[in-house]
Structure 1
Amino acid sequence: MSQTTLTSHRAAPSPPISLTDVMAAPHVTRLLAGTLLGRLPNGMAPAALVLFVTGSGGGVTFGGLLSALYILASALSQPVKGFLLDRHGQTRVSGPAALINSASLLILTTVSARSQPVLATALVALAGACTPPLEAGLRALWSKVLPDPGQRRVALAADTGSQGLLFVVGPVLAAFLASQHGPGTALAATAATGITGSLIVLTSAPSRHWRSPARHPGARSTLHNATLLRLLLALAGVGVANGAVTVWAVGMAEQHATAMLIGLIPGAYAAGSLIGGLLYGRRPWPGGTTAHLLAGTAAFTIAWLPLLTLPGPHLAVALVLLPGLFLPVLITGAFLTADRIAPAGNLTETCAWMILALGVGTASGTAVGGALVAHPLAAATLPLAGAAAALAVLATAPPRPLRGRRDRGFGADSAAPD
């Protein structure tokens, strides 16, 4: 066989996949923009609830409890909603959930949190439990909308990188609306934003026609899959780092008498995540999905080390950009890994459990960080501890270039190019 023939049989190198090309693919911009808009209430609602309670004469403590209840109810209900999505489709689950969520928030604007605390609490719990599972739904849609794994990686990186901005823009927008037009308007805008984003997604063809593959009778569920359990534990550790850095920002603001740090530090972390997502999706990187997951987690862990020097305010804002840069790499790797190993017909539920794990970890990091906020070194160490725990969990199943069953482990299909 001639050299020319050999050359002709070689696989041509894959051209770089740009974010512009991915966004130009059918439905991608609509799904991504709609999901981000529909999830903006996740950042708006907690702040709007505190402002609503205090604005009606209630205490900050009660407002904080309602805010925490909304977040907790939303997180804990994720696996149930994911299970229902896999069984009944997105329109029949996310549509009613979005309507109940928005209606509950709108009804809440007519309630006095001070004189009707039980009713207010019930409405907040219902609204939180019925937050539409747009994020899990989008993660399940990518494989249908973007069959090419490289395109999915770019889309996931952009999706992950932009999420942090929701929790920066959301509270600011809620505070602005409350100060200019009243707390009730902030809650009403939260409801309107959620239902609008949900409608944009749910009326799209991919969402309307999406059906989960039939589940194999002998397939193990998410919580009975040891590999997926390790992935959930690792994401909980990442969540601890996310929650801890927010509380660390509060401690830095108190220590240096600079209130702006409460917003600047999380904002810089979110900005780093956005930049990292764009850079990660800009070009193909060597190695497969598993290698990216492990390398991203290792880099994320190392990037927290400079905080142990107890930097000053300006340097602290700059330093939190570093772990933010690598957050999209590990999150994207985690969800692409789940896409490979989740039991057939159970992908949305698996994604929902992953979102729950991140949420529980974030809540835990916030709680522990609050207890450590008076101790600067301990508070600065907590994000590193959460990231290191995630890396340790993932390192117990080192990548192997093997192919086989979807639920074999992190090594399954790890050699497949992204």
Structure 2
Amino acid sequence: MTTPLDLTTSSYRRLLATPHVLRLLASAIVGHLPVAMTPLALLLAVRTDGGTVSLAGLLAAVYGVSAALGQPWWGRALDRRGHTPTLLFTGCASAVAFLALTVLPTAQYPAVAAALTAAAGLATPPLEAALRVLWPEVTPSDAQLRAALSLDASAQEVVFIVGPLLVLGIGIAAGPGATLGAAALLVLAGTLAFTTAAPARNWRPAAQRSADWMGPLRVRGPRVLALALAGAGAALGALNVLALALAESLNAPALSTLVPAALAVGSLAGGLLFGRMRLPGSTPRQLSATALGLAVGLTPFLLTPGPLASVITAVLPGLFLAPLLISVFASLEDLAPDGTLGEASAWMIAALGLGQAAGTAIAGTVGQTGPFLPATMALAGALLAAVTLLLGRRALATPRVPSRSESGHPILTV
């Protein structure tokens, strides 16, 4: 049984009134919107140029994979060089690549389009990792840090709801070619607003450490978390294919968008609730419980529910998705080696993204046979996450560390 909601110390209103919090969160959201906009924007741009759907799909895949692969390297740069140089370089490079794609006839020059798309993805600013490094610096209590991580995870769902809507709106108002230009402006605006905030300007890297190509993954705890997030990402990727298979099987085309949207709504609600609850048990148990909840929430899809039931069912796994992410990032502060929190956060983001790409690709090979196999693959990914966390619970168990009031150092105890 959970304890009552802590409506005072975990108040989101109080958190947002804390200096710098709203600016950092809002700028990170703005700068991250292109990640959600680009796949659809590329589809519109390629089709407008007379290109094929397969080319658009290829470019979208190139962008997603390159964005995931680039994050750990930029996370390491955050830890070693600081926020300002890393974010400004990546933000400007990504914006330039988007602007070049805006004027390039993609159908005529597919190889150049692929190279520019890869550049835009690889240079995605590590705003999520940077924000998670700064949360302990700007939140005055353990409760507010927990609320900040919850609000952060929930805000990512807003990104993936608003991003496609922006593409559609901009495409109608200014034409499909303007959508990639808008992505360039957003990534640049968000990055500039973030890097000019006082906490980002004043943050300094920890003392230089010896080079280690594995970075935080040389420690078992972060490796366990990364593998678990890869499994969760695979479940999310398979769910996208499942939504399309349900739409075709049930002759309800809207399900292809309503099911992912319902998952996002569930995750948004779950994250906000989780940030205001005090749950019993150790951090490893909470991690396992949220991953298992994700799997249980996906199980009804094996029965191929009807259109309305499918939308309602999609909310269930979403309720556990954001809490899983919150628990993972809350654990990193204790598990990541000193001076590697930015890179560790980036590895988690990369693991989730790569798992999602793999889940989409694998489930796509069986999606033509109906919704059962994609549903099975989504469930398998969630179970992989749960089993990984259960087997790795000893690596995830860390001794209790002093709270802020005891040590002066911002530590989150979940």
Q: TM-score, normalised by structure 2?
A: 0.91
Structure 1 segment 266-345 matched on structure 2, within 5 A: 266-345=260-339
In structure 1, the residue matched to 2:52 is 59
* RCO comparison, higher one (Cα < 8 Å, 6+): 2
**Structure 1 letter corresponding to 2:191:** S
Q: Give the number of aligned pairs.
A: 397
Q: 1:80 to 1:109 in 2, by over 3 A?
A: same
1:157 maps to: 150
Q: Secondary structure at the match of 1:320?
A: helix
CA shift in 2, pair 1:179/1:102, >3 Å: same
CA deviation vs aligned residue, 1:91-149 (integer Å, no higher than 9, x gap): 10111111111121112222111222232222212111111110111111112112533
CA distance in 1, matches of 2:254, 2:353: 25
Could you tell me whether the CA contact under 8 Å between 2:80 and 2:208 is conserved in 1?
no
Distance 2:386 2:111 in 1: 43
Per the TM alignment, residue 328 of structure 1 is displaced from its structure 2 partner at its CA by 1.3
Partner of 1:236: 230
2:397 — aligned with what? Answer: 411
The answer for the alignment partner of 1:10 in structure 2 is none
1:45 aligns with 2:38: yes
Q: Secondary structure at the match of 2:243?
A: helix
Q: What is the CA distance between 1:315 and its match in structure 2?
A: 0.3
In 2: Cα distance, 1:149 partner to 1:288 partner:
16
Read off the aligned partner of 2:339 and give its amino acid letter: G
Q: Distance in 2 between matches of 1:147 and 1:370?
A: 46
Gaps of 5+ in 1: 1-12, 400-408
Match of 1:257 in 2: 251
Work out the CA distance in 2 between the residues paired with 1:316 and 1:213.
48
* 1-structure distance, mates of 2:269, 2:279: 16
Contact 1:291–1:414 (Cα < 8 Å) also in 2: no
What is the rounded CA distance, in whole Å, between the counterparts of 2:252 and 2:301 in structure 1?
A: 18
Q: Please state how far the C-alpha of 1:14 moved relative to its aligned partner.
A: 11
Alignment check: 8 A CA contact 2:161 2:264 kept? yes
Partner of 2:110: 117
Return the alpha-carbon distance in structure 2 between the equivalents of residues 189 and 218 of structure 1. 38
Give the one of 384, 388, 393 matched to 2:383.
388
Structure 1 residue 215, shift from structure 2 partner = 5.0
Contact 2:263–2:317 (8 Å) recurs in 1: yes
CA contact (8 A) 1:165 1:267 kept: no
Question: Max radius of gyration: which structure?
Answer: 1
- Percent identity of the aligned residues? 40
The one-letter amino acid of 2:356's match is T
Q: Tell me how far apart the structure 2 counterparts of residues 387 and 291 of structure 1 sit (CA, whole Å).
A: 16
Q: CA 1:29–1:230 in structure 2 vs 1: closer, same or farther (change >3 Å)?
A: same
Question: Which amino acid in the other structure matches residue 36 of structure 2?
Answer: G
User: Structure 1's 58 and 15: CA in aligned 2 closer, same or farther, altered over 3 A?
Assistant: closer
In structure 2, what is the Cα distance between the partners aligned to 1:359 and 1:184?
A: 26
In the alignment, the residues of structure 2 paired with residue 89 and residue 16 of structure 1 have an alpha-carbon distance, to the nearest angstrom, of 31
1:227 equivalent in alignment to 2:221:
yes
CA distance in 1, matches of 2:391, 2:208: 29
SS of the equivalent of 2:58 reads: helix
Distance 1:284 1:215, change over 3 A: farther
- Coordinate RMSD, CA, aligned: 2.0
Amino acid at match of 2:203: W
Q: Please list every run of 5 or more consecutive structure 2 residues that lacks an aligned counterpart in the other structure.
A: 1-5, 404-412
The normalised TM-score by structure 1 is 0.90
Cα distance 1:295–1:54, how it changes in 2: closer, same or farther (>3 A)?
Answer: same
CA distance in 2, matches of 1:21, 1:286: 24
Question: What's the counterpart of residue 406 of structure 1?
Answer: none
| 1:213 to partner: Cα distance | 2.0
- Provide the secondary structure at the position in 2 that maps to 1:282: coil
* d(CA) in 2 for partners of 1:168, 1:251: 21
CA-CA distance at 1:414 after TM superposition: 5.8
For residues 157 and 141 of structure 2, what CA distance do their matches in structure 1 show?
26
